[in-house]
Amino acid sequence: MGRALIRPIVIMGAMYAFLKFVLPNIPGSAEIPASLIILYLLLTLSGIIIFETLSAESKDAFWGPMQRFLTGENIGGLQPLRYGILVLFPVLVGWQTYNATAPSDSPPAENRVIHPAPPGEYTGLANPVPKTPENIMQGKGFYAAFCSPCHGANFDGKGPAARGYNPPPANFADPTTIAMLQESYLFWRIKKGGVGLPIEGMPWKSAMPRWELELPDEWIWKIIMGEYDGAHQTPRTWE
Amino acid sequence: MHGEDGLKERTSYGAGRHGAWLVSLLVATGCMVLPAIGLAAESTAAGPTEYRDIPYIGSRNLIWIVAQLHLLLAGFVLGVPIFAWLCEIIAWKSGEQRYDKLAKEFTKLLTSSYATTALFGGILLFLLIVFYPKLMNYLTDIFFPSFLLYCLLFLFETATLYLYWYGWDAMQEGGKKTLHIFLGFLLNFFAIFIMIVPNAWATFQSSPVVISEGTAIERAWAATWNPTWWPINIHRLIANVVLGGYICGAYAGVRYLAAKTAADREHYDWMGYVGNFIGVFGLLALPFAGYWLMREIYQYNQQMGITLMGGFLSWLFIIQAMLIGVLFLGSNYYFWLGITYRIPGSESQYRKPILWMLISLLLCLAVWMTPHSLVASIEEAQKMGGAHHPLLGVLGVMSAKMTVSNLMILITFMSFVMYWRAGKQDTAPWARLAKAVMGAILALASIAVIILGVWGYFVPAIVRINYFSTSQVAIVIFVILTITPLTALLLKSAKTTTEMVWGRMPPRAGYALVLNAVMVILLMALMGYARSSSRVHWHVYGVMRDTSPYAYSPALGSASLIMVFCTFFFCLLVAFIFWVATMGDKAKGAQGAVKRDLPHGIPAMAGGAPERREA
């Protein structure tokens, strides 16, 4: 096997090791799901193929050994390995088929829609409560009483009750959560809770209470103001 | 009489011989017609028919397929005249006749596709009237003035296209050429209006503006000038150029792979290069137009915006990123192959820069393809603390996507500049300074785009959308507008060290061109589904509800089956059209070969194709 063939194998191995063992151990990181690892490995592989086939010489150096091996042209002692590969491919396909169809006790991977579209009556609603320091403070107070047990005193989704929920409560300090949404969206989610999620929000995995049963609308609007202020975020607006 | 008897005999013989077949065919046809009963079954005695259906395939799927095919064909037919006309102007101004030949070849593909486009348009109209009479009544009531205008535009477009194509050879000299160029302008003028008038009907369904007072024209005008009309017009105009360029590139790629003579190889290699260049040229501007469109949708209706970008269609945009990524990679790969094969000896010089460009492109693509909410098993989700990865989750939002798409545009632009400069040596005394300036502009622009992208996480969304993202776009446009003329000036006085050799590209270059075309078709099919599905259960968003049994959005998995079918069928259709269009050339080529075989030759027929050079 030529160097041109060993190099891609090393690159693929190194990339896998990086994604599987290095990246998850960086402080603040976590294990990467298999779906994403496969995506990144496919990208790496396509990059290798593109680069190695840029010229006739590099293409021959890269593809030539594989072609010779597969066609059995002057491979000498590697002939048994070639037959081994011939057997291995159907075995791999069979194994993959078995894995895909065999009964398993683990639930399937899910693609939950975190932010389903709100019902029409909630779009475009403006917060009717004036943004005064008093109202924001009052909102933070309501937040501390009703929301912080799950969403955390620091608005980071790490309240004392958070460990009991899967999926965990939203982290408002993350700039990719409430900062991407308008206030009216939060109003809908707080008011209707997990049971008010639409069909596209299935499998409706949210333990968010339906706060409209306990809190008046004005309090909910104040809580929204308190959340944004406490998490140092601003709602999405068009002005 | 004898002949008549013979005919009768043959008919009766044939009937006897094939009688069983004929009966079977009649029975089979009868069975196939049976479902038509279903068409009438939907109507009720209580009121006018609102919907009709067709069994098995379903009315919605049939409309979907025909509409998508019509749009793809229309995109090609409206995109090609733009660059065919530009090629003709280049030939006219520079005197390089190969551009004129290329423009003519593009137009030949156009004429044969035009009739098919109109045919599919007609089928679509009939199907819409049959299956959705209530909706069509409503739309006709609002838009009938523009329906009439559309008919007129179609007449003008057809007449102009026929004059443009059939007058090509007759209008080659002097003032006639100027007239021909003017016809090309008219062709594009009418083509643009043919595109934007129906765009108003389609965008009205997504973002309707309905007024009850005023004349018919005032109501039609108000409905036409709806919030997403111009964003769609611009987006489709650019997308049509991209589609046309890549399909012409694929056509050239296939002809290149099948070429038997060196002259054909040279010509189709060059045509493939031009097609890819046009595709890339449009592709550089397309993300900007797409971003503007999406911004307008979000601003028009939060619900529609979230359905697209954060709701059940959000995964569609990861697929879109993959397709655009392949398109960027394929286009750059073709440029890089061009450097190594068309400019002998340049491979060693450019291999390292190409490697860095490739790594940068892949990194950008990795960011673009990283979803915000990941597909994960329960165990994986628990380890991540939810569906968002604590570290990679930040790559899943618009600030990151916008940054990498801008960087990919910059890299692709530099790829082209590298190709442009390959095989040439600067002789201008200020060349060193110019290169330093260009390098500095590129480096500073890239850094600025990244800084704005990172900063975008820490400012309100509206600041990011209105100022940061637009600044990123402005920076990239500035780079393109400064480096292009500087490079052109440098190359004006440059010495050619290695001549470009056409016709030496490996077969994989032809396949790359075909791959690009397939990707752009798939992409258009995907975005057609996105635009339509964003209306959810409304025919006209918020105004006319879909009350048919199909008032639901198909899941991405089942929708992809229709998209793939549309792509496959469109490729077959285009292959057939191009095969028909080039059938005459092959016959003429064969005739030419016979003529050459004759020792004395025969007189050439008027209007015959020019002789092809031998290898």
- Identify the residue among A29, A37, A53, A54 best suited for mutation to test binding to B, counting B beta carbons within 10 A and taking the highest: A54
Tell me if A239 is assigned to some domain: no
Cβ–Cβ gap A176/B384 under 8 Å? no
CA angle B354, B356, B361 (to 5 degrees): 95
Q: Residue B21 — pLDDT band, cuts 50, 70, 90?
A: low
Q: Per residue in B360-384, pLDDT tens?
A: 999 999 999 998 888 888 888 888 8
pLDDT at A2 over 70: no
Q: How far apart are CA B61 and CA B324, in angstroms?
A: 26
Q: What is the pLDDT of residue B438?
A: 95
Residues A126, A224, single domain; the answer is yes
| Residue pointed to by tokens 């569609």 | B316
- Nearest by CB to B390, from A30, A33, A234: name it: A30
Do the domain assignments include residue A199? yes
Q: Does pLDDT of A162 surpass 70?
A: yes
A116 → chain B, closest CA residue: B311
Contact A176 B312 (CB under 8 A): no
Yes or no: say if A238 and B299 are a contact pair by the CB < 8 Å rule: yes
Given a cut of 70, is residue B16 above it in pLDDT? Answer: no
In this structure, are residues A23 and A32 in contact, taking their beta carbons and an 8 Å threshold? Answer: yes
Confidence of residue B589 (pLDDT cuts 50, 70, 90): low
Show contacts of A10-14: CB within 8 Å, 24+ apart: A11/A44, A11/A48, A12/A41, A12/A44, A12/A45, A12/A48
The answer, yes or no, to whether the previous bond of A203 is cis (omega within 30 of 0) is yes
Token digits for B523?
């992409």
Looking at the fold, whether A64 and A146 belong to one and the same domain comes out as no
CB contact at 8 A, B529 and B559: yes
Q: Do A238 and B542 touch (CB under 8 A)?
A: no
Q: Which residues of A touch B306 (CB under 8 A)?
A: 115-118, 185
In angstroms, the CA B168 to CA B102 distance is: 12
Long-range contacts, B548-555 (Cβ 8 Å, 24+): B548/B50, B548/B51, B548/B53, B548/B59, B548/B60, B548/B132, B549/B53, B550/B58, B550/B59, B550/B60, B553/B312, B553/B313
pLDDT band of residue A104 (cuts 50, 70, 90) is confident
User: What mean pLDDT is predicted for residues A187-200?
Assistant: 88
Quickly state the pLDDT bin for A192 (edges 50, 70, 90).
Answer: very high
Return d(Cα B249, Cα B280) in angstroms, integer: 11
> Which residues in A lie closer than 8 A to residue B297 (C-beta atoms)?
none
| B-interface mutation test, from A125, A176, A184, A186, most B Cβ less than 10 A away | A176
Selecting from A36, A54, A200 the residue whose C-beta is nearest the C-beta of B370 gives: A36
Give contacts of B304 with chain A, Cβ < 8 Å: 117
Closest CA to A166 of A124, A199, A194: A194
Q: Residue B548 is encoded by which pair of tokens?
A: 């048919």
Probe site for chain A from B295, B309, B312, B501 (most A CB atoms < 10 A): B312
Q: Check whether B75 has a pLDDT greater than 60.
A: yes
Is the model's pLDDT at B598 over the cut of 50? no
Q: Which residues pair with B495 in a beta bridge?
A: B425
The answer to whether the Cβ–Cβ distance between B380 and A55 falls below 8 Å is no
Backbone angles phi, psi at B425, to 5 degrees: -120, 130
Q: B3 pLDDT band (50/70/90 cuts)?
A: very low
pLDDT given for residue B7 in this prediction? 44
To the nearest whole Å, the CA of B311 is away from the closest chain A CA by 4
Q: How many domains does chain A have?
A: 2
Interchain contact, B312 vs A106, CB within 8 Å = no
Q: What is the DSSP letter of A33?
A: P
Residue A235 in any domain: the answer is: no
Which of the four pLDDT bands, split at 50, 70 and 90, describes residue B276?
very high
How many whole angstroms separate alpha carbon B43 and alpha carbon B33? 18
**A43 and A143: one domain?**
no
**Encoded tokens for B397:** 């939002």
Last residue of a domain, one of A74, A101, A128: A101
**In whole numbers, what is the pLDDT of chain B averaged over residues?**
87
Over residues B574-592, mean pLDDT: 76
CA distance linking residue B268 with residue B279, whole number of Å: 16
- H or E element: which one contains B425? strand B424-425
Q: Which of B29-43, B171-185, B300-314, B573-587 has the highest mean pLDDT?
A: B171-185
- Taking the C-alpha atoms of residue B339 and residue A58, their distance in angstroms, rounded to an integer, is 14
A128 and A85: one domain? Answer: no
**Are A8 and A84 members of one domain?**
yes
> What is the C-alpha to C-alpha distance for residues A204 and A207, in angstroms, rounded to an integer?
9
Q: For chain B, what percent of residues have pLDDT higher than 70?
A: 88
pLDDT tens for each residue of B174-207: 889 999 999 999 999 999 999 999 999 999 999 9
Q: What confidence tier does B23 reach under pLDDT thresholds 50, 70, 90?
A: low
Task: State in Å, rounded, how far the first CA of chain B is from the last one.
Answer: 57
3-state secondary structure of A221: helix
Q: What's the pLDDT tens digit per position in B441-458?
A: 999 999 999 999 999 988
Does the CA dihedral B22-B28-B31-B32 come out positive or negative?
A: negative
Q: What's the confidence (pLDDT) of residue B582?
A: 78
- Residues 6 or more apart from B467 whose CB is under 8 A from it? none
- Give chain A positions within 8 Å (CB) of B396: 176
B55, pLDDT greater than 80: yes
**For residue range B293-320, what is the model confidence (pLDDT) as tens digits?**
988 898 888 888 888 887 788 889 989 9
Q: Measured between beta carbons, which residues in chain A are less than 8 angstroms from residue B366?
A: 39-40, 43
Q: What is the pLDDT of residue B37?
A: 43
Mean pLDDT of chain A: 90
CB contact under 8 A, B375 and A110: yes
Is pLDDT above 60 for B613? no
pLDDT the model gives residue A87: 94
- Tell if the CB–CB gap between A166 and B365 is shorter than 8 Å: no
Option in A31, A35, A119 nearest B383 (CB): A31
Same domain, A171 and A136: yes
Q: Which residues, in sequence order, are CB contacts of A162 under 8 Å at separation 6+?
A: A150, A151, A152, A168, A169
Same domain, A59 and A149: no
Domain assignment present for A193: yes
Is the CB of residue A200 less than 8 Å from the CB of residue A116?
Answer: yes
DSSP reduced 3-state for A234: coil
Residue A195: give the domain boundaries: 120-230
CB neighbours (10 Å) of residue B172?
A: 13
Tell me which chain A residue has its CA closest to the CA of residue B299: A238
Distance from CA of B597 to the nearest CA of A (A): 37
Query: Residues A53, A133: one domain?
Result: no
At residue B32, the pLDDT reads 53
Query: So what's the pLDDT on residue B611?
Result: 40
Compare CB distances from B375 to A111, A124, A239 and report the shortest one's residue: A111
Given a cut of 90, whether residue A140 has pLDDT beyond it is yes
Domain membership of residue A7 (yes or no) is yes
Residue A120: closest C-alpha in chain B: B303
pLDDT level of residue B610 (50, 70, 90 thresholds): very low
Q: Residue A200: its chain B contacts at CB < 8 A?
A: 307, 311-312
- What are B107-159's pLDDT values in tens digits? 988 888 899 999 999 999 999 999 999 999 999 999 999 999 999 999 999 99
**Chain pair A-B, CB pairs under 8 angstroms:** 172
Over residues A39-68, the mean pLDDT reads 93
Which residues from chain B sit within 8 angstroms of residue A44, using beta carbons?
362
The three-state DSSP-derived secondary structure of B122-165 is HHHHHHHHHHCHHHHHHHHHHHHHHHHHHHHHHHHHHHHHHHHH
A87 and A137 together in one domain: no
The reply to whether A94 and A126 lie within a common domain is no
Residue A219 lies in a domain: yes
In chain B, what percentage of residues exceed pLDDT 90? 62
Per-residue model confidence as pLDDT tens digits over B331-356: 999 999 999 999 988 888 899 999 99
List helix spans (H) across B207-345.
216-224, 229-258, 262-300, 302-309, 316-342
DSSP 8-state class, residue B320: H
B506 interaction partners in chain A (CB closer than 8 Å): 56, 59
- A124 with A97, same domain? no
User: Which one of A44, A68, A101 terminates a domain?
Assistant: A101
- B286 pLDDT more than 50: yes
Two tokens at B347?
A: 């491979």
pLDDT digits (tens, 9 = 90+) for B534-551: 988 899 998 999 999 999
- Which of A56, A74, A101 is the endpoint of a domain? A101
Domain assignment present for A112: no
Assess whether A56 and A126 both reside in one domain: no
State mean pLDDT over A55-76. 88
Residue of B nearest to A182 (CA): B302
pLDDT digits (tens, 9 = 90+) for B88-106: 999 999 888 889 998 998 8
What CATH number corresponds to the domain at position A195? 1.10.760.10
Quick check: is A114 in a domain? Answer: no
Q: Are strands B544-545 and B538-540 parallel, antiparallel or unpaired?
A: antiparallel
Report whether pLDDT(B615) > 80.
no
